[in-house]
Structure 1
Amino acid sequence: MLTKNRRCPQALAGWCFIAPQMIGFIFFVLIPLITVFTYAFEEKNLLFGTSVFTGINNFKQLKNDVLFQKAFFNTLVFSAGVVPLNLILSLWVALFCAQKAAGINLIRSIIFLPVITSAVAWSIVWKYLLQGGTAGPINYFLSLAGINGPNWLMTPGWAMFSVIVTRVLKNLGMNVLIFIGAIQNMPIDVIEAAKIDGAQSFSLFWKIKLPLLIPTVLMVTIVTIIGSMRVFDSIKLLTDGGPEGSTMVMVYYIYHQAFKMFATGFASAIAVVLFFIGLLLTVLQWSLRKRISYYEA
């Protein structure tokens, strides 16, 4: 057993190791989070520097705010587009990349490159590619095939579609990496036994591989949903919330209220609503994950 004199230096060393993380968490996460909750109950204006306690008035105002309702609906549309598309593509690509074949490591690297690419650079490149008329490369190649491409980022409907596609391609590699790890950890004997029993490629995936991957699918789904509800950079750089507010999502609306309208209190109330939505999804994930991952035979 360690003596008291020896335990003290070890405890001090342990506190020293975790101190940078704890200090960063306190100053950059905990204190801002408490501040947001405080501002949510105030009518705070950054432009005039005023702050008045108003209770739950900011939350009451949300019910009658047309732009908030539109931003909330746009967030749901964005998530409904990003999540299934990302999930299906990443699982399909992961099944291919998990195979042992020549050049597969190069393909994995290419797929993962957008993840480590700057979001600003990614958005600027796609804004150039999606220009209207024949100025944009995508519309130029469509015109060669006799197709008149739309003004992708300036037309309601097409703007949301364009943002969804670019966002899916940007984050696809991370989910592919997670699925590859799950696929490689599947029990080989179960898969081999299914093949011996005559399971073909589709039935092997649907009846054997997919059930084994359900916990990972659930985790990736919830993480992707939460990530899609926090999108800001793609919206800001590609469409700036337009056209006609068709791509204004909740996080962008928080930015709009806080730094354009200077209504920090109202923006904080929206942030609190978004926080509880994310918290609810996280709790739901853990609840479903336990039911799926841990069961009695």
Structure 2
Amino acid sequence: MTGRPVTGGRAAGRTGAAGPVRRVSGNGGGGAFWTVRRRDNLVGYLLVAPQLLGSLLFVLLPLGLVLWYSLHEWNVLAGTFEFVGGENYDRLLADPNLGEVLGGTALFSAGLVVLNLGLALVLAVLLNQRLRGTTFFRTVFFSPVVVSLVAWTIVWQFLLQDDGGLNGLLAVAGADGPNWLRGEGTAMLSVVVVQVLKNVGLNMVLFLAALQGVPAQLYEAAELDGAGAWTRFLRITVPLISPTILLTSIITVVGSLQVFAQIAVLTQGGPGMSTTVLVYYLYQQAFQFHHFGYGATLSVLLFAIVALLTVVQWRMRRRWVFNET
């Protein structure tokens, strides 16, 4: 039996039923410009516009102005703003204090990164166990993160004085404690420890979240094969949480290079210049000695160091971060 041929109207109707056709109304040919895809793109641009505008105004523009100021000598007291070209950079290379400042910055950053990441990982491993009271200790270790930085530092300033609370506890035990913030051998150590105790809780939480994402079946299989606890940690835990280790290391390194409030409150860069880091030295040159052009030059140096270390860490991820290609 032969079927009746489908008329043009029915064929068109069935063809249209295969998928709705969106039409954009408009007069003449102008309406065809506002297609659905272009409207979606416009909505996307409008949604990201605030972030782009904020980055332009508060990141890119200040960076450009710092570079511009580094080519000038700006005397606020005299009201002069003179173009000096590369003189500030020549002064940077000839600065006799720069080597000591960079050395102190490197010492502070290295001590902070090693102690912070190491202690955070140990605490995360301990608090990842199913034991009573772990929630309480998680709260205790994380609580300094939300405390005001200046308030935290002022409290530790009183504790670390010659007649402060820490030496009082040592005296009860029969020991004579040093003046922690005035000794050249203890000042930098004191600042590093105060900063570690302030922020170790943040990295601890990040490590704890990463540890809870490691499949328990891997540990069970390794244990059946005779692997000890240390072997399981090195061969299973560390590789699987290596992306988090990369993230925390970048955050900690960048944060260590930007430390200011702790130095300003605890030691003011002393004794001598033993705790003068780059940011505090920048502050001294710009806002205490009113060398704003040279301060901007130090800012450019700080930006270059942070950018270089971040790029190096990011490039090294392919070697030691698990599942990176």
Give 2:182's aligned residue.
154
Structure number with higher helix proportion: 1
Establish whether residue 18 from structure 1 lines up as the match of residue 48 from structure 2.
yes
Q: Is 1:38 aligned with 2:62?
A: no
* CA displacement at 1:250 relative to structure 2: 0.1
Query: 3-state DSSP class of the match of 2:241?
Result: helix
- What is the percent sequence identity of the aligned residues? 43
**Matched residue, 2:306:** 278
What is the match of residue 162 of structure 2?
A: 132
TM-score (structure 1 length as normaliser): 0.91
Q: 1:56 is matched by which residue type in structure 2?
A: G
Show CA shifts across 1:141-166 (max 9, x none).
10111111111112222111110000
Which letter does structure 2 place at the counterpart of 1:221? S
Aligned partners of 2:77, 2:318: CA distance in 1, in Å? 48
Counterpart-to-counterpart distance in 1, 2:35 and 2:243: 46
CA RMSD of aligned residues (A): 2.0
What is residue 181 of structure 1 aligned with on the other side?
A: 209
Structure 1 segments unaligned to the other structure (5+ residues):
none
Q: Which residue of 2 is the match for residue 260 of structure 1?
A: 288
Between 1:120-129 and 1:50-59, the stretch displaced more is 50-59
Matched, 1:113 2:113: no
1:239 alignment counterpart: 267
| Pairs aligned (count) | 294
Partner SS for 1:178: helix
Is 2:257 the partner of 1:229? yes
Q: Give the counterpart of 1:50 among 73, 80, 90.
A: 80
1:78 and 2:114 are equivalent in the alignment? no
Q: CA deviation at 1:99?
A: 2.1
Query: In 2 relative to 1, CA 295–76 (structure 1 residues): closer, same or farther, beyond 3 Å?
Result: closer
Quick one: which amino acid aligns to residue 23 of structure 1?
L
CA positional deviation for 1:178: 1.3
Is 2:182–2:270's contact at 8 Å kept on the other side of the alignment?
A: yes
Q: Please state how far the C-alpha of 1:13 moved relative to its aligned partner.
A: 4.6
Which residue does 1:27 correspond to in 2?
57
- 1:202 corresponds to: 230
Give the drift of 1:192: 1.6
Residue number in structure 2 paired with 1:90: 120
- Contact preservation (8 Å) 2:317, 2:324: no
* TM-score scaled by length of structure 2: 0.84
3-state secondary structure, aligned to 2:316:
helix
CA contact (8 A) 1:219 1:285 kept: no
Q: Which residue of 2 aligns with 1:190?
A: 218
Alpha-carbon distance between aligned partners in 1 of 2:78 and 2:59, rounded to the nearest angstrom:
26
Contact 1:167/1:234, CA 8 A, preserved across alignment = yes
What's 2:317 paired with?
A: 289
Match of 2:243 in 1: 215
Per the alignment, do residues 251 and 169 of structure 1 end up closer, same or farther by CA in structure 2, a change over 3 Å counting?
A: same
Give distance in 2, aligned partners of 1:202 and 1:5. 61
Instruction: Pick the structure with greater CA Rg.
Output: 2
16-25 vs 175-184, greater mean Cα deviation: 16-25
Q: Which moved more, 1:102-111 or 1:1-10?
A: 1-10
What is the CA–CA distance in structure 2 between the aligned matches of 1:31 and 1:115, rounded to whole Å? 30
Deviation of 1:59 (Å) = 1.6
Distance in 1 of aligned mates of 2:79 and 2:119: 48
Shift of 1:214: 2.9
Take 1:234 and 1:287, find their aligned partners in 2: how far apart are those partners? 31
